[in-house]
């Protein structure tokens, strides 16, 4: 009789691909006990494909659900029916979802409808504001309600779960798998010059920018763009390098305000390897991304977070990440403080890893194995 258990890893967007890829590789090391299958919903098409290719992962199922400018309703509806089909066919013993996207919560919901146990990677992140970030705060809270195993990255995230009444026996603090992914990529031999995009002047100080959050669409993103223009005007040795998220709601603003402007280099999203090298080459990062907030402290790069609230307080407490909101004046003031003062800058460059040590994936695998009495 085949006593192997089947684990289905569900991946939808770029950050899920980055954070799940090292876990897929770690699960596959236990092929004698675990059969690991990957289900790519392709909520993101190209951006998720690029990551999986980088890690050498070919999905077992590709649901290809992305449409251009998709709404939350379209994504949710397409996901629930397609996931039902593939779960029914594969009959996994456990479904693993990651983070707080629509793929995450629908992946967990569809598993629950079929009474398949759910493991939630990067559990317990909270702002406690249902509209910030939107819709992610509710996606992850709903996922926590549905999950049977919870893998919070930090003690803060674990405490949030316990405060909500989650059974402590089901909660395992592991670190964030993004640090496993980052170390995987940093360990790869690369020609750094070839990796950096054409255009930006290497002798300038680069401000690397990313922004995509729904709550920043429209006026907040406009004021972020105005802040970047003001910083460019104020400092003639500064260049803004901005890989623009392909969401049309983001591009309608960046195209109008930033396209073709001197010392503002707008580029297509970079594959993960090149983006990590871009972060390494940056002087300063300005972002609303969750993943970038987690990676930058490992690289010793100061981060200004253009959001009103963060569910990742650890690096803010450690002093390497600062929450600056989305007002033009606030962004310019905080960036100027770092561009003007070497000592203020140095204080934010301490390398540390509040989010993980690069061993989160083996810890998750061990928890799963021991839950099934398969360790040893």
Catalytic residues: 100, 122, 136, 212, 214, 245
**5 closest CA partner among 36, 29, 28:** 36
CB of 269 to ligand UD1, least distance (A): 7
Which CB, 5 or 120, lies closer to ligand UDP? 120
Q: Please tell me the distance from the alpha carbon of residue 49 to that of residue 59, in angstroms, as a whole number.
A: 9
- Collect all residues with Cβ–Cβ distance below 8 Å to 68 and sequence separation of at least 6: 248
Q: Please tell me the distance from the alpha carbon of residue 26 to that of residue 359, in angstroms, as a whole number.
A: 10
The first and second tokens of residue 272, run together, are: 């993960």
Touching ligand UD1, residues 15-54 (CB under 6 A): 15, 43-47
Touching ligand UDP, residues 65-104 (CB under 6 A): none
Q: Please tell me the distance from the alpha carbon of residue 216 to that of residue 339, in angstroms, as a whole number.
A: 25
- Binding pattern for the stretch 178-197 against ligand UDP, x by CB under 6 A and - elsewhere: x-------------------
Question: Do 178 and 294 form a contact (C-beta atoms < 8 A)?
Answer: yes
Partner from ligand UD1, ligand UDP, none binding residue 18, C-beta < 5-8 Å depending on class: ligand UDP
Stretch of 14-22, 108-116, 186-194, 312-320 contacting ligand UDP, by CB under 6 A: 14-22
Which CB, 291 or 313, lies closer to ligand UD1? 291
Task: Give the three-class secondary structure for 203.
Answer: coil
Question: Do 96 and 124 form a contact (C-beta atoms < 8 A)?
Answer: no
From 117, 197, 246, 319, residue interacting with ligand UD1 (rule: CB under 6 A): 246
Cα angle, residue 8 at apex, residues 7 and 12 outer, rounded to 5°: 150
From 124, 291, 313, 325, residue interacting with ligand UDP (rule: CB under 6 A): 291
State residue 205 phi and psi, 5-degree precision.
-85, 125
Which CB, 38 or 293, lies closer to ligand UDP? 293
Partner from ligand UDP, ligand UD1, none binding residue 270, C-beta < 5-8 Å depending on class: ligand UDP
Binding residues for ligand UDP, per CB under 6 A?
14-15, 18, 178, 210, 212, 243, 269-270, 272, 275, 289-292, 295
């Amino acid at each position: 009789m085949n006593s192997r258990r089947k684990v289905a890893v569900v991946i939808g967007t770029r950050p899920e691909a980055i954070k799940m890829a090292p876990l897929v590789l770690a699960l596959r090391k236990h092929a004698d006990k675990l059969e690991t299958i990957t289900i790519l919903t392709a909520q993101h098409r190209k951006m998720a494909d690029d990551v999986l290719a980088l890690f050498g992962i070919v999905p077992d199922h590709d649901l290809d659900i992305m449409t251009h400018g998709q709404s939350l309703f379209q994504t949710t509806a397409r996901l629930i029916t397609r996931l039902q089909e593939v779960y029914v066919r594969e009959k996994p013993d456990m479904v693993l979802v990651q983070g707080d996207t629509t793929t995450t919560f629908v992946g967990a919901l569809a598993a629950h409808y079929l009474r398949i146990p759910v493991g939630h990677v990067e559990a317990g992140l909270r702002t406690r504001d249902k509209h910030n970030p939107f819709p992610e705060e509710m996606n992850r809270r709903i996922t926590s309600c549905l999950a049977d195993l919870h893998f919070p990255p930090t003690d803060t995230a674990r405490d949030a779960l316990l405060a909500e009444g989650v059974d402590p026996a089901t909660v395992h603090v592991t670190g964030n798998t993004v640090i496993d992914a980052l170390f995987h990529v940093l360990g790869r031999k690369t020609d750094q010059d070839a990796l950096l995009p054409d255009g930006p002047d290497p002798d300038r100080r680069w401000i690397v920018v990313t922004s995509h959050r729904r709550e920043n669409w429209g006026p907040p993103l406009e004021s972020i763009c105005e802040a970047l223009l003001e910083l460019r005007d104020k400092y003639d040795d500064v260049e803004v390098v901005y890989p623009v998220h392909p969401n049309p709601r983001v591009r309608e603003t960046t195209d109008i305000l930033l396209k073709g402007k001197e010392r503002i280099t707008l580029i297509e999203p970079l594959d993960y390897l090149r983006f990590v090298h871009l972060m390494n080459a940056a002087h300063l990062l300005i972002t609303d991304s969750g993943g970038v907030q987690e990676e930058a402290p490992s690289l010793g790069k100061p981060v200004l977070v253009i959001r009103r609230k963060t569910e990742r307080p650890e690096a803010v407490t450690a002093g390497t990440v600062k929450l600056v909101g989305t007002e033009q004046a606030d962004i310019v003031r905080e960036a100027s403080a770092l561009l003007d003062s070497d000592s203020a800058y140095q204080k934010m460059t301490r390398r540390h890893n509040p989010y993980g040590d690069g061993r989160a994936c083996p810890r998750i695998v061990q928890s799963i194995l021991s839950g099934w009495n398969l360790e040893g």
